[in-house]
Chains A and B, each alone.
Chain A
Amino acid sequence: MGKTLAEKILSAKSNEDAKAGDIVIVDVDVMALQDGTGPLAIQQFDEMGAEKVARPDKTIFFMDHAAPSPRKELSNAHMMIRSFADRTGAKYSEICDGVIHQRLVESVTSPGDVVIGADSHTCMSGALGAFATGMGSTDLAVAMAAGKTWMKVPETIKVELKGIFPKGVSPKDAIIYFIGKIGADGATYQALEFTGQTVESMEMTDRFTLTNMAVESGSKAGIIAADDITRKYLADQGRADDYRPEFADDDGEYVETHVIEVDSLEPMISMPHTVDNTSTVTDAAGTKVQQVFIGSCTNGRLSDLTAVAEILKGRRVNKGTRLIITPASRDVYLDAIREGVAEELVEAGAMITGPGCGACVGVHGGILGDEEVCVATTNRNFRGRMGNPEGSIYLASPETAAATAVKGEITDPREFL
């Protein structure tokens, strides 16, 4: 019997013939932490009496949630991270470098890797044909010392995308649609494998959006085969040598298969306060919006900013609505400047902040006021997520967010295309 991508990678990294349901001890290739979860991992690492980090070159702390730090407590947390890195040889990514998951795909994760991160959206790295999953600080502390972790090999759900996206509809709409269909706990403990002709011809930037949100269905991982598009992406990142093909076996066993015909998809939106509370944008249209946030590891890449600039071209952000744009990484930020996209966005009335998690995590960079409504291109809309439990968050594509910024109310982007 053949294997799914999850079974293949976890077999290779455990030196066992791993099948869904098995408990395996795996070698960990990449250990990632951020400024919210890193300090607790450091405390636990010290409490264990550990001194050496097993893989210092692949143990990386990302200062992205509070970048730059808005409070002394967080500045101190950053100091703790830098000093731990200095003492153990672990690496850190500075406040100017970008969001953990974007930085991992740009520079760290390779096909076939096992990646664990003290951040739930670690699953994004799975788009590169890796097994990537989120865990807590203590699991990371143990893995930092051991270079290994334990896992239950997940069952896999196949998510097959067919057809060509209509104008104004994007992979973000597809993943919101899927989560609405399967539910916020529809794939708990399972892996999602995204396949089909639509995925096979999809650029990496869009594949990242799909795997980023896998955890919003409860999934442990979201995985996509490493193919020629992966190879080209890694080569563009100056990492051609990191490529290796990674495919599931044809006769791998899947617990379910979902087919999404993207030709018939419409722009989708997640309404307050859960990601699976979905609707078409048409049905939610007209709701007044005070803030639009474009950014995050889900949709803060150059292709997202370009899609927004296309809609904003020759138009202005509506009075009474503020548009905040946070590039996912320094590389994205630089490209947006070099290609003139940043200028177009600022001209249309957007505020561009430095790279990082920004307003997505409610620490700073765009906290909502009481009763305010935000449309965001991020991955979560839980009550209080953006810093105020009295605010409401809708999740949508960059195109829908841009159209909404222009009209000041939830708007179907197809009106502008």
Chain B
Amino acid sequence: MEELKGKAWKFGDDISTDHIAPGRLFHLRTDLPELAKHVLEDADPEFASKMKKGDFVVGGRNFGLGSSREHAPRIIKIAGVSAVLAKSFARIFFRNSINVGLPVLVCDTDKIDLGDELEIDLAKGIIKDTTKEIELTFQPLPPAMVRILSDGGIVEHYKKHNGFKLD
């Protein structure tokens, strides 16, 4: 897997799918590139316009709680975010992220500040904060999810194996 490189954008605890893809933009759900211009708008109105391709979203606890809307991880990915880091993730958001191929990494995000430059090696499981010159590790994904992610998402997994092959 490739090495990811970019800047950290910090968000707090309990970032909901309403922060990421709000209901007032419900009509844009069939136009994801347009919806992606508003990604995380209700948490940080400037994020979408200021972030650069490759940057990281860094949250606190229970990132992605709320609705099952898969549009949330999809527009984070479409916006160019290379991974989401958080202390913990809500269940449906986590599963959706794997399904759509967005890396979601559980680590101690208190050690990372806004604007820190990060380099992440997904295969080795290492996050380098080159601004602070520290290294963090992230929890390995459950094996079933590694299978799905390495097949390129749940649709590709299902097609490749003509069914589920998770053990």
Contact = CB atoms under 8 A, between A and B. Distances in A.
- Nearest 10 CB-CB pairings of A with B: A362-B23, A136-B70, A136-B96, A73-B27, A185-B62, A382-B16, A134-B68, A382-B18, A384-B42, A389-B42
A388 B27 CA distance: 15
A57 B62 CA distance: 36
Given A65-B26, A73-B30, A362-B23, A274 B14 contact: yes
A66 B26 contact: yes
B35 to A, nearest CB: 11
28 contacts: A36-B29, A37-B69, A37-B70, A39-B30, A40-B29, A40-B74, A73-B30, A73-B31, A74-B27, A77-B30, A117-B68, A120-B66, A120-B68, A136-B68, A136-B100, A138-B96, A138-B153, A138-B154, A145-B158, A185-B65, A188-B91, A218-B65, A220-B91, A274-B14, A362-B22, A382-B16, A382-B19, A384-B22
Contact of B24 (A44, A218, A367): A367
A384 B19 contact: yes
B23 A363 contact: yes
B12 to A, nearest CB: 11
Nearest to A76: B30
B40 to A, nearest CB: 11
B96 A384 contact: no
Given A37-B70, A367-B24, A152 B19 contact: no
B146 interface: no
Interface in A5-30: 23, 25
B99 A362 contact: no
A172 B68 CA distance: 22
Nearest to A80: B30
Interface string B65-88: 111111100100000000000001
Interface residues of B, number: 43
B167 interface: yes
Contacts of A122: 68
Contacts of A386: 23
A145 B157 CA distance: 13
- Residue in B28, B69, B70, B159 whose Cβ sees the most chain A Cβ within 10 Å: B70
Interface string B125-136: 000000000000
A218 B14 CA distance: 11
B5 interface: no
Given A36-B29, A44-B155, A138 B99 contact: yes
B95 A135 contact: yes
A26 to B, nearest CB: 10
Interface string B88-127: 1011100110011000000000000000000000000000
A247 interface: no
B24 A387 contact: yes
Interface of A: 23, 25, 36-37, 39-40, 44, 47-49, 65-66, 71, 73-74, 76-77, 80, 117-120, 122, 134-139, 141-142, 145-146, 148, 150, 152, 184-185, 188-189, 218, 220, 274, 361-363, 367, 380, 382-389
B11 to A, nearest CB: 12
A142 B65 contact: no
Contacts of B27: 66, 71, 73-74, 363
Contact of B90 (A36, A49, A185, A361): A185
A25 B164 contact: yes
Contact of A387 (B23, B66, B95): B23
Nearest to B43: A383
B41 to A, nearest CB: 8
A40 B42 contact: no
Contacts of A380: 16, 18, 66
A152 B98 CA distance: 15
B68 A142 contact: no
Contacts of B90: 185, 188, 218
Nearest to B29: A36
B37 interface: no
A7 to B, nearest CB: 18
A77 B22 contact: no
A312 B22 CA distance: 33
Contacts of A142: 154-155, 158
Contacts of A184: 14, 62, 65
A136 B92 contact: yes
B8 to A, nearest CB: 22
Contacts of B159: 48-49
B22 A389 contact: yes
